[in-house]
Amino acid sequence: MKYLKKFNERLSPEVYKRAGSRLIGLDKEERGSKLYDYGNELEHGFYNIHFANTNSTIFTEKFTNPKVSSHVYSPNSTSGFRDLKSEQDIEDFVQDWYNGDSSLKIFFNFKFEMAKSAADYNKDFIKRYGDYTPFMICLELCEQSPGEFDEGLDITDVYDRYKYIGLYLQKSKSYYGIFADRKSALKFKRILPSLLEPELNKIYSVLSIIGAPVEDFEKIKEKINSVRVNHLYGEKTGFKKNWFDKPELTSSF
């Protein structure tokens, strides 16, 4: 007995997830799923999210591991959108806006991972689409619609005259979702600044090209930190299109 030691150290989330994956591979689905989900809960926490589209009933499931990607409208892209991966992408985006071909909006897609222990029919539904992106947050920098700029204004003049900085919640695709309770929405609000931090350099580059004052960049960061929790969750009562009919995510300032 003198060789035995007490082991009080908590294992890392990755250890639980690897063990869970092995059990799932051995056809021990229930045990493996619980273990995998526990690892995700330790690392990311869980969020209850309602799901809906125009062809199916709503269901509510647990999701985890939120990630974000950004894209903008692009008239020259076959998909209609493009990622902002390089400075050239950012310059093209600003030029498209100045030419009147696109709006000055950046869309942040939020992708979640469904819990392994979710109902099989819900998991199968998500698998048809490859991932789950329940909503986007749109950052609007200018109210002016494409093609409506006054002639003779340079790019900074246009921005100064028509700028409007706002954050809006929008559907991501034909299927969409929203947080099912205040607790989940509050948890997301708390990590939102850190999720969007890698995107701040892109936003700063856009503002630099159009000659925006540094105060506008600070205003955007303040808005990201001031998102209203009650705009992020909704009741499960049918096909809730009005989940996304709410005003700006933050107070007007």
* 55-95 pLDDT, tens digit each: 666 788 899 999 999 888 877 776 677 888 889 999 999 98
Please report the beta strands in the chain, taking only residues with DSSP state E, as ranges in sequence order. 46-53, 56-73, 81-83, 105-114, 132-142, 163-171, 175-179
Residue labelled with tokens 């008239």:
75
Contact assessment for residue 140 and residue 169, using Cβ atoms and an 8 Å cutoff: no
Widest distance between CA atoms in the chain:
87
Q: Is the dihedral of CA 87, 67, 129, 241 positive or negative?
A: negative
The span from the CA of 20 to the CA of 30, in Å, is 9
What pLDDT, on the 0 to 100 scale, is given for residue 151?
66
What pLDDT, on the 0 to 100 scale, is given for residue 239?
56
| 221's tokens | 């960061």
What pLDDT, on the 0 to 100 scale, is given for residue 76?
72
What pLDDT, on the 0 to 100 scale, is given for residue 3?
44
The span from the CA of 245 to the CA of 225, in Å, is 21
Q: pTM (2 decimals)?
A: 0.84
What pLDDT, on the 0 to 100 scale, is given for residue 145?
56
Contact assessment for residue 48 and residue 39, using Cβ atoms and an 8 Å cutoff: no
The ranges of the chain with pLDDT < 50 are 1-8
